[in-house]
Amino acid sequence: MFGIINQMFGGNNAQADLKEILNNGALLLDVRTPGEFHSGHAEGAVNIPLQNLNQEIAKIKAQGKPVIAYCRSGNRSGMAAQLLSNNDIEAYNAGSLGQAKALLKS
């Protein structure tokens, strides 16, 4: 719970928590448009644009993994994390593409 709160408010422990979750097999989800995704994305990320996410919930849920979402600024990924959480999927907002890439490097 506190990891989620830290992530929402940018606490230092939040990045470490997300890194651990990612290392334990979480799905890294890019919710930007396909064009944005093809112009550059975090290694290993899956692209499901926010506007298509609702149709993919069952497939994501079937994987049984936590999801770490990112976008350009953190707004769309925040909405995605909320949508996934509302559908009983453990989900986190990594924020921007740069923040997601930093998770992979740390």
pLDDT above 70 for 72:
yes
* Yes or no: domain 2-105 corresponds to CATH 3.20.20.70: no
More confident residue, 41 or 11: 41
The runs of H, that is alpha helices, within 1-106 are 2-9, 12-23, 34-38, 50-63, 75-86, 97-105
Residue 98 CB neighbour total at 10 angstroms = 12
Residue range 50-55: mean pLDDT, rounded:
98
pLDDT above 70 for 34:
yes
The pTM of the whole model exceeds 0.95: no
Q: What is the pLDDT of residue 14?
A: 59
Residue range 45-68: mean pLDDT, rounded:
97
